Amino acid sequence: MPLADPRPILAAARTSGLGVGAFNATLLEHGEALVAGAEAAQAPLIMQISENAVRYHGSLRPLAQACLALAEAAAVPVVLHLDHAEDVELVREAVRLGFTSVMYDGSKLDDARNRAVTREVVAFCHAAGVAVEAELGEVGGKDGVHAPGVRTDPGDAERFVADTGVDCLAVAVGTSHAMATRDAVVDLELVAAIAARVAVPLVLHGSSGVDDATLARVVTSGMTKVNIATHLNKCFTAVVRDRLASDPSVMDARKYVAPARDAMAGEVTRLIRVLNPQAPGAAA
């Protein structure tokens, strides 16, 4: 089916107090796993390609076109989202390629410059029918200001959205990027306070560090889009390691990548059901 616009999906989820999973694809097999997992959960998917993944491949187009093909063949709505793009030209390329959502990350800029460039990105993307996500400051784990202990001020968040016109906002509430353990302490009262002030859906980055019970509470507290990457990479890589260790004679990549892809798909389905208890098969 055609690529989906994230705005009605996120708006409906926010109104119902549900979460939408946003998962990153670095390899073709990751994209296949994400779509398979979402189809099993019978739920919309936000499939993300980060600027880091673009650098790994050397350009955006090859992986983007593969993900576009996967989305078009999917049985559920799929949003293709450019994640953490600091390069405005990369944002423009994503729009030209057909992405329906981008995150412009101006968090390393000073506040005034961040707002100004974000406004420019919003104007360009909205003219093309593309949704825009942004953030006030960098989420932890990348030497940014959102290290554990730093928090987004609800008033600042409200003003940033009003100043820029973004469609959703990533906020700092206690998570950190690239966490290998699921023990982040999320400030749920702050989530609720920001949600009460901000008119657009909120986004939680660094969600790999959040356990299932807290993920569910984060959503009911007011978070809507939940980004998970490292946790799924761990799941994928663990299966590859186990498969190679169990049979050192294996040389065909399909023999160890396929089971890793299947395990990742299963975890995507499970996470979607944690975030959205109304998804088919979710626990009551």
Indicate which residues carry an active-site annotation.
83
Who's near 116: CB < 8 A, 6+ residues apart? none
pLDDT at 145: 43
pLDDT of residue 179: 54
Residue 280 in domain:
no
Residue 252, both tokens:
């065909």
In a domain, 281, yes or no: no
Strand partners, 80: 47
Report if residue 97 sits inside a domain: yes
Distance CA 14, CA 10 (A): 6
**Residue 134 covered by a domain:** yes
Domain annotation covers residue 77: yes
pLDDT at 199: 93
- What's residue 184's pLDDT? 59
pLDDT given at position 14: 96
Q: Bridge-partner residues for 45, per DSSP?
A: 78
* pLDDT (0 to 100) of residue 140: 43
The CATH number of whichever domain residue 94 belongs to comes to 3.20.20.70
Q: Retrieve residue 236's tokens.
A: 């994928």
Is residue 178 in a domain?
yes
Helix (DSSP H) and strand (DSSP E) numbers for the chain: 11, 8
For 128, the domain range is 6-275
- Per the structure, the count of domains in the chain is 1
List of residues 6+ apart from 53 with CB closer than 8 A: 24, 25, 26, 63
Task: Decide: pTM greater than 0.85.
Answer: yes
The reported pLDDT for the residue numbered 182 is 54
Q: Which residues of the chain have pLDDT under 70?
A: 137-149, 174-185, 208-209, 283-284
Which pLDDT value is given to residue 134?
94
